[in-house]
Chains A and B, each alone.
Chain A
Amino acid sequence: MSPVEGTAKLEIRGATKTYEAKTGPVHALQDFSLEVAAGELVCVLGPSGCGKTTLLWAMAGLHALTRGEISLDGSPITGPRPVEIGMMFQDANLLPWRNLRKNIELPFEIKKRPVDKGRIEVLLKEVGLDGFESSYPRELSGGMQQRASIVRALAPDPGVMLLDEPFGALDAFTRDEMNLLLMRLWSETSKTIVFVTHNISEAIFLADRVVVMTPRPGRLARIFDIELPRPRTVDMTFEPEFIELIQEIKRTVESGARHTVEVE
């Protein structure tokens, strides 16, 4: 499943990021390289603080790397690429002073583009939020807020979606529901998705490939090809094959952790 040389949609080469903190430099990310093919769904998995959000923010052009390069369709990312890349953040990140419709229209407003009302309507219907356009975020449940956030990210129709633990704050049932929704929307389009999570079963459930990172500094530990058939169902997560994968990935994460402890 690994992309053939030169066909990668996203290319990360030797990504390294060091922060200057009061207590000294923090090595968040070290020599991380990865290629993501067009239309692929890759999950980046690692413990908290392993630099996966740092990586994703760099891919979104929200901050610069200390060393290394990330390119999209062959051109280096030096700042936000709003037309090509859509980003979803930890929790729904809706603006509480705007109603749902105004929240979803925010990307169009900022880009000064006409609002694609038809597309928004279709998406709202698809995620079951039609009729809630004038509701404010505080009036909606966590799952509904998250669905609105998905609509906001998809409405401008970016080719690449970067998702930063978007469902981390939801309960297990709502999370399953969101993951199914995300996969359905993904299979209907041909988007390239990079999904950051610290939940192993979520990563396996969604991904074509699971990229496991080591704890700080974040390095690439191992890449798992997930060959479970699609469309996937929640029942699959109880199959022995799935559970074996969980255990194998868990071992990789833990050995990565031990390795780092020994080094330190």
Chain B
Amino acid sequence: MSEVPRELRDEIPSFDDGPTHHDHGPIDWTGLTSIRGAKSALEIGTIIAIAIGVFFGLEAILRLSDTPTYIFPKPTGVVAALTDDFQLQYAHHLWVTLQEFFIGYAIGSTIGLILAAVITQKPFVEKVVAPYIIILVVTPMVALVPFLRVSLIQGVDMWPIIVAVALASGPMVLINAATGFRRTDLAKIALARSYGASTLQVFRKIRFPLALPMIIVGYMIGAIFGLLTAIGGEMVSASEEGGLGRQLIYFSALIRMENFGAVLMIIAALGISIYVVFYFIGKRWASWES
């Protein structure tokens, strides 16, 4: 019966003659957690040793070659620049970037999630909407910020960047969540229905939990794209409040490379934080998948 097309097998479960397997769709959860959580002391030690080696190795090379700071800042210089005047030079801009990121991300991801749940109910709607989602996914929303600032949302506030963040993160959540909602496990839906479940109960008890791992993946990718867009948006057209992206431009224009390096460190820390947060969310809510 293996030649029976997939659509038909969905309709007539009896025609599948092999034992039904736990097929939860083409998701490779390991992509998100490929850097495994449980590490041995040796692994952790090695990771720290590499970090220390790179830090001091770079320091030594730059000192021995007498490279000027404006060509390449020394790691110790960057750390000093970071800790020296954190409150004045970075804290405010970090706060601006975080606001733009979180507001835009909250709006974009919420709309993306709701749209995903709605459009996957009707294959026709999904097929019609798909090309437009692809356009949103592949368009770098950073490029929209200057346009938004002079055209649609005139002004010098954070809104053009917030909108760009929403437009960057929303489609990522949408496209992944839609993949999740499309994973209809007919046997499990039938199980719920045999207990008299309503459409809403089927959604809450079966479809949503089944989609949750993909929704989390979407939220993580959306967060990373949102952060990139916030920083990039500030680089091309910041609000009068500034932001980490504008500080990059500012410090490089002044050839203050140690400060520039310090801003980069903060941005990297934000990215790593996103990864760590989603690592634990995935572990808590989606570990049944692996």
Contact = CB atoms under 8 A, between A and B. Distances in A.
Interface residues of B, number: 33
Contact of A26 (B8, B13, B205, B289): B8
Contacts of B22: 91, 96
Given A19-B12, A26-B8, A80 B195 contact: yes
**B5, B197, B210 pick with most chain A CB within 10 angstroms:** B197
Interface in B196-226: 196-197, 201, 205-206, 209-210, 212
Would you call the interface of chain A mostly helix, strand, loop, or mixed? loop
A93 interface: yes
Interface string A22-53: 11001010000000000000000000111111
A93 B8 contact: no
Contact of B288 (A52, A97, A107): A97
A82 B196 contact: yes
B249 to A, nearest CB: 46
B8 A97 contact: no
A90 B20 contact: yes
Interface stretch (A4-12, A54-62, A124-132, A242-250): A54-62
Nearest to A108: B195
B7 A22 contact: yes
Nearest to A86: B194
B190 A57 contact: yes
Contacts of B197: 110
B205 A109 contact: yes
B127 interface: no
A62 B190 contact: yes
A96 B20 CA distance: 15
Contact of A62 (B21, B194, B288): B194
A206 interface: no
A136 B20 contact: no
A106 B288 contact: no
A169 B20 contact: yes
A156 B194 CA distance: 12
A168 B191 contact: no
B195 A19 contact: no
B195 A82 contact: yes
Interface in A149-202: 156, 164, 168-169, 198
A224 interface: no
Q: Name the residue among A26, A95, A156, A168 with the largest chain B CB count within 10 angstroms.
A: A95
B19 interface: yes
A111 B195 contact: yes
A95 B190 contact: no
B151 interface: no
A168 B12 contact: no
29 contacts: A19-B11, A19-B12, A21-B5, A22-B7, A48-B1, A48-B15, A48-B17, A49-B14, A50-B14, A53-B13, A60-B190, A62-B190, A80-B195, A80-B196, A82-B195, A90-B19, A91-B22, A91-B187, A93-B187, A95-B188, A96-B288, A97-B209, A97-B212, A106-B191, A107-B195, A110-B195, A111-B195, A164-B14, A169-B20
The 4 tightest CB contacts between A and B, nearest first, are A53-B14, A169-B19, A48-B17, A82-B196
